[in-house]
Amino acid sequence: MSQHTYKPDSGDKMDTDISAPDPRATSEAPPGIAAGGPGATRDWGQSRGIQSIEVGGRLLRALADHGRALSLKELAQAADMAPGKAHPYLVSFGKLGLIDQDSTGRYGLGPLAMELGLISLQQYDPIRLAEPLLVELARATDQSAATALWGNHGPTIVRIEEAPSAVHVRMRPGTVASLRHTATGKAFAAFHARERVLEVIGQATLDAQFEAELARVRAEGVSLSVDGLLRGISAMSAPVFDQHGHMVLALTLIGPTPAFDPDPLGPLAQTLRSYAQWLSRRLGAPLNASASPWRAP
């Protein structure tokens, strides 16, 4: 197996969670991506800020990561601060409408936070966000990277970034990926609306062997094709979700089989998942301790 230029994200800091986190999940920016995201024009880490706001922001981050109302003790623990220190921040956030408190005393995100979230989502377009990400993903993995959307005839490649190495895998935008025989297609078959998948396949049900493969894809968070449609070429794909838990696009790595790591728990898969999860978070997907927010249609 040849050496890759990417760095596995298994050592990255995980989201703080009261429950045990899934080792496949991450909320950190993936390798090569600044905290501001690909194409960011401002490196906030180099600018002086107000420390108290940043400290209080850990409480908002904890609420967003958990996706549910938390007691003062739970929230303080998730934000790594004492309850007595957390409470004044919560009072101020409540006055601003950033948090709210229900009848049981638990804290959740408030109306202003929801309004800001809706405005933010309106500004985000999956393809626009994914474009600069592809460049970084190809550079980080030394593989060709592609994005695909669900089109009229099934999963359709819309953007390709060639690998920085001398070995390129040629694929044209507009190519429709096979649901059964490509990594991109399998990702959509596993996570996209079942009725649309069956419509493209032209069957009322899927055979048991394919269902078992799709179950593995959901469990591992990536799909794989080794020497599938073209001998000597392998691919791996990961789903990207929106705020509703719907798959909106696939991120796919493609490369020569001898230099491609097919291990779904290996560093190549970890890097691909980290990019897909980061993009999902930017689109509002409720990722916390699970590998994906996918909900069965």
pLDDT per residue as tens digits for the range 146-180: 999 898 788 988 888 888 766 556 667 778 899 99
CB 160 within 8 A of CB 170: no
> Where do runs of H (alpha helix) occur along 67-202?
72-78, 83-96, 111-123, 126-141, 183-191, 194-201
Q: Is 150 helix (H, G, I), strand (E, B) or coil?
A: strand
Q: Is the dihedral of CA 116, 137, 23, 13 positive or negative?
A: negative
**pLDDT of the residue at 242:** 87
**pLDDT of the residue at 176:** 87
Token representation of residue 288: 């916390």
CB 231 within 8 A of CB 279: no
Token representation of residue 121: 């989502």
**pLDDT of the residue at 265:** 92
Output DSSP code: residue 221.
S
Degrees, nearest 5: CA angle 77-80-84: 70
CB 6 within 8 A of CB 140: yes
The β-bridge partners of 256 are 233
pLDDT per residue as tens digits for the range 225-262: 998 777 888 999 999 998 888 899 999 999 989 989 99
Token representation of residue 259: 């230099």
**pLDDT of the residue at 153:** 82
Q: What is the pLDDT along the chain (297 residues), one digit of tens a residue?
A: 333 333 333 333 323 232 333 434 444 556 555 444 444 444 556 677 888 888 888 999 888 877 788 999 999 999 999 999 999 999 999 999 999 999 899 998 888 887 776 565 455 577 778 888 898 999 999 999 999 989 878 898 888 888 876 655 666 777 889 999 999 999 999 999 898 999 888 888 889 999 999 999 999 999 999 987 778 889 999 999 988 888 999 999 999 899 899 999 999 999 999 999 989 988 888 765 344 556 555
**Other beta carbons within 10 Å of 75:** 27
Nearest CA among 164, 105, 149 for reference residue 242: 149
Q: Is 239 helix (H, G, I), strand (E, B) or coil?
A: strand
> Where do runs of H (alpha helix) occur along the chain?
51-66, 72-78, 83-96, 111-123, 126-141, 183-191, 194-201, 208-220, 267-282
